Structure 1
């Protein structure tokens, strides 16, 4: 019986080693395993083989660990059966002993060691893992395939990230544990979210586009480019929807240097290049790849009716990924100005989601992208100074509008939460307070 008891504890020690190796592999990527193999001349081949087929080695480890734990439980039960006469007492004691021993020697402590000292554990256990893979690999894989037929949807390839949200959640956890810098976390979020971004979300809207008439001369076009500080400008005919092409600063400058005598008599159409047109619902990542492959830096965005709704540049797309890129000609535009009472003076071009972030809420709208669009949508008309709406607990008051076009320039955003208002709630849940009346 002493032999059985000793064998049981040896098996539990082996199970603990396997659990530590399992935990160590879980915190090391393939690249890290290959780097570890380079630093481990004696066991480099074994570690390299594990990195090349990690899932199969994990399956073999799991199978061997379960086998050793089960065999140890049987041996301890036999020892108790020999020592005790009451069957129920044997079962109770065997259950309690195996639960405590398995948790301490297999479940908790070894996994903690494997997580905190993965390289040392992998180096030590690499030959054992390779041997188990060669001996038990086919058996473990066959059993898992049988299990997959009983419970469809599982794979033999180990854990997999189910969706983008799970990936982002893992990235956030890594940043919280200081495994990632906050900037790196933001970049990863931008990369993942960029795939769901539409062109209309990053474009320069139609009303803010700078264009030149096709009737202008090359000199006049060059002067307008220098004044507006744009190196590429769409060339239009009688109206903005009639885009003839795109004028480039380098082409205008080259023409002026080489044909100075023709710079006043030649129209801009002589140096312009064809424009590319993209739908506003196209994904931004696809447009970025297209612009890179075609060496194009500007595209005109068209709506569902074929009209020009804006333009997007290569810089706009890159900024969506990496953040603002300011050069020596860019003017700093502050879109949000905090006020003393906790409110914010915001640009009408501020995004709806960014507005929500100011107050720590999720704010989204499928129909509009900016604060200006949000106010106009809930008012049902063009806003005037003093007009106020409440959306999701945020009170938006029109502050400044452009007289000529009657478009909103700035608004005041204030959090009121669930405060009672005298406004009438619209069908989409916004409180329409209307224009504030003068008390005089």
Structure 2
């Protein structure tokens, strides 16, 4: 009994150790190992031979781990049969214990250790692993050959072993040596990150979408494209949830160029294209590949409930790779609040309503009052404009609220799109009349 327990424990511990080494070897970079060899790190020579024929060494580790797991499982079952009565409870106990040990030790613990310390573990075991590969090499080849025979369609031939981990570290080494600039490295790393980034991260959210109704005429569509700076606009039916297509400025111009009515005789619904709907959880690399294959530059994103979450363009995805680029057309950072005199201010569009209320309370002794519905739905000054207008505000749009006139200001960004950057807040006649009433009462 004691012997069986010792054999089971030792076999499972060995299986866990082999799994740790397997995880470590699979996660190291050949380029980094070559760098360690040049630095004359102990064990680097043996490790370089391992990564040069990584598939063979990983196969040997899998063979040894499988052998240890089998020995451990059989001996554990034998121990349980001796300890538990009747036999069915012994089988249940063996299954439960084996499942727990496999998940906790072979799964979580060993793989975590291998991923956290891949180079130190690989360097420490490289010599032993090389020796085991020489001893078990013929067996490994025989098993692979037999496995390929019984595999439908045949097996895979070992090819160059390149992983994302290796490529990332090659880029890091290239930067350290001055071969790759910092910005170039960042762009290359961003390409890898596309697979881990969902479309919702970079989308234009629904409240910021600029859209046009299907029953509008093309002359209005051209005016909206010019004013907003967008060459493609989603087309809606009854509401923003009912997106029926996408209109392209190029299509509008082709349809209305020779007309004398400025496009007023052509409805948007007549020239719009079908729109593409994709889940907002779709990885950016898959989405970019799909948009390239379908020659589509814009997609509507749908959330998990089937509602419109926003839209994304191919330019938004490319921006994730190249990053934000400031040029001579980008405006300098502006102060959040710029006094203009006579209780008027130019404020940043993202200034919160709370800060605006505090500004007029401290500077002019006026308590701005907003409806409860507004305070619940709106956070910023630009949000107030959008809420009152019922659409995304464009430069020149204005609303009057709480005795103040809010006028949107903006300019074109680097892609030529109009962006609201600031809002001019100025008092109206109502503001001064309320001020006089307050003075009269006092």
Relative contact order (alpha carbons < 8 A, sep ≥ 6): 1 or 2 greater? 2
- TM-score exceeds 0.5: no
Higher helix share: 2
Structure 2 length normalisation: TM-score? 0.42
